[in-house]
Chain A
Amino acid sequence: MMQTPNATSAPTPTIKLALAWSFVGIPLLAGVAQTLINAMKLFQ
């Protein structure tokens, strides 16, 4: 999908994309969740 029409090589496997995004997404989401928990103190 992201390649020029004359491209012939196999596209990047979905699992590779999922792994790459998980690698950065999981720690980021953990950080966001922890911050949200702390931020809730504003409303207590």
Chain B
Amino acid sequence: MTTTVNSARNDSRSMLAFLDRSHTIAKPGYSRWLVPPAALCVHLCIGQAYAFSVFNLPMTKLLGISQSAPGDWKLTELGWIFSIAMAMLGISSALFGRWVEEGGPRKAMFTAGCLWAGGFLLSAIGVYLHNLWIIYLGYGFFGGMALGIGYISPVSTLMKWFPDRPGMATGMAIMGFGGGALVASPLSVWLMSRFTTATHVGVMESFVVLACGYFVFMMVGATIVRVPADDWKPEGYVPAKAATKLVTTNDVYVYDAVKTPQFWLIWVVLFLNTTAGIGVLGQASAMSQEMFPGHITPIAAAGLVGLMSLFNMGGRFSWASLSDYIGRRNTYFVFMTLGFLLYITVPYAGGSGNVVLFVCCFLIIVSMYGGGFSTVPAYLRDMFGTRYVGAIHGILLTAWSAAGIVGPVLINYIREYNVTHGVPKAQAYNTTMYIMAGLLVIGFLANLCVRAVNKKYHMAAQTGAGMGALAPETAA
């Protein structure tokens, strides 16, 4: 009996040891090109969050089947599932960033996979019992935690494998987050159509299938991911011996990074870029139909939204890759300047009835929205070094959560105010566009203020009382 218990304990220990960072160090010969697919395994799954809305309408008819019945959930109640998940994304990435960084990518990916699949399964139980609180807990709380941990899990690993192209490397992974919705949306619709009958809406079964599929996918990512050995570098790559103006060769401890003005300036830049983009992204369908009544039909508007998703995803890879050549700060200058010009062009496009110009403006704007997310990890790496970049990135993602609240509120309320004060619907968004352009001017100025981090924050330079109290190597 005792032998059996000990054997079980040893098995679980060896399973847990498999997840440790020390067991993920790559042997010589391991190709770094296996790491982006590992990262994509996670990001493609958690990117489903952007497609969760496809379940909203069916979940309003779980009792009534063909139409909502008394006791069925309302859309406003269901909207909270996504909101809780996004809030948890910011909270968990900030709280668990250091744990992710020190525990290694495999442990983080494994945890994210368990939470993501577990969240879906718990939500399936919530649908079965028709208890919305269980779904808030399942998809909202646990799923949101998976979003935060999963999102940051491969970031620093990718940058260590690709020190020569950090923007491109993180761009590939974060592109997957944008692409996840493109996969999940048609897949979810197809699954629901398979499981729905005349007397039953197939949401629960779809959740179970998605949970199993996503779990397998994320475990594959966790299995193939590796971290490079400390002395590893790409062939032919010569690391810079001295820091350049805006690229450091030192590391800054995570909790020291948040004390620097650079962290908060980049936070503001990301917040404003995201606020401007998220407002447009969420309202593109309604806005295009109201600005071009008779020209853009609901079907065409749906096509525009699809095209915007593609540009959102493509922008994540292309802008981040471009930043390897022109620099991170310059990339954000492009976002702010070009974004400003495009936002003030939208009212002109609406006024002149120029649909092509309007669509082009929106597609470029949304590509820069995606590019803002994918370029920021490399920007943080330039400022604070590679060692704690994942954890610092995790805290920075609170800017995303904040923008997720401010962006849609700003665009909805200003439109509502304009419409109730007699402004024609076609022009109701003009003020919002000018406000978004104004936000980007502030973002431009914040980006302009970004300078190299003061040496006193560098981990190697820290001595005595000034050091971060929790910094591992200074505490050791």
Contacts and interface: CB of A to CB of B under 8 A. Distances in A.
Pairing of A with B? yes
Given A1-B235, A30-B183, A38-B303, A20 B310 contact: no
B232 A34 contact: no
Contacts of A4: 28, 231-233, 235
B234 interface: yes
Contacts of B185: 31
Contact of B179 (A2, A12, A32, A39): A32
Contacts of A1: 31, 235
Given A39-B306, A42-B300, A42-B303, A31 B233 contact: no
A3 B304 CA distance: 44
A29 to B, nearest CB: 9
A31 B182 contact: yes
B182 A2 contact: no
Contact of A28 (B29, B40, B232, B359): B40
A16 B41 CA distance: 15
Contacts of A23: 37, 41, 220
Contact of A12 (B30, B234, B235, B313): B30
B302 interface: yes
> Interface size for chain A: under 10, 10 to 19, 20 to 34, or 35 or more residues?
20 to 34
A16 B38 CA distance: 12
Given A3-B28, A23-B220, A35 B235 contact: no
A40 B359 CA distance: 13
Contact of B306 (A2, A24, A38): A38
A28 B33 contact: no
Contacts of B33: 2, 12, 17, 21
A35 B310 contact: yes
Contacts of B34: 12, 16-17, 20
A11 B41 contact: no
Nearest to B310: A35
Contacts of A10: 29
B186 A7 contact: no
B362 to A, nearest CB: 11
A3 B315 CA distance: 30
Contacts of A30: 183
Nearest to A11: B29
Interface in B280-328: 299-304, 306-307, 309-310, 313
Contact of B31 (A5, A12, A24): A12
B81 to A, nearest CB: 22
A13 to B, nearest CB: 9
Contacts of B302: 38, 41
Contact of B310 (A8, A32, A41): A32
A42 B304 contact: yes
Contacts of A16: 34
A22 to B, nearest CB: 9
B183 A2 contact: no
Contacts of B234: 2
A3 B235 contact: yes
A24 B37 contact: yes
Interface in B183-238: 183-186, 220, 224, 231-235
B186 A31 contact: yes
Nearest to A20: B37
A34 to B, nearest CB: 5
A25 to B, nearest CB: 8
Contacts of B224: 20
Contacts of A7: 28-29
Interface of B: 27-34, 37-38, 40-41, 44, 176, 179, 182-186, 220, 224, 231-235, 299-304, 306-307, 309-310, 313, 359
The 4 closest A-B pairs by CB, nearest first: A7-B28, A42-B303, A31-B182, A41-B303
25 contacts: A1-B31, A2-B33, A3-B29, A3-B30, A4-B231, A4-B233, A5-B235, A6-B28, A7-B28, A9-B28, A10-B29, A11-B29, A11-B31, A12-B33, A21-B33, A23-B41, A24-B44, A28-B176, A35-B306, A35-B307, A35-B310, A38-B303, A39-B306, A42-B307, A44-B303
Given A11-B29, A38-B302, 18 more contacts: A4-B235, A8-B28, A9-B29, A20-B34, A23-B37, A23-B220, A24-B40, A28-B182, A30-B183, A35-B182, A36-B310, A39-B307, A39-B310, A40-B303, A41-B302, A41-B303, A42-B301, A42-B359
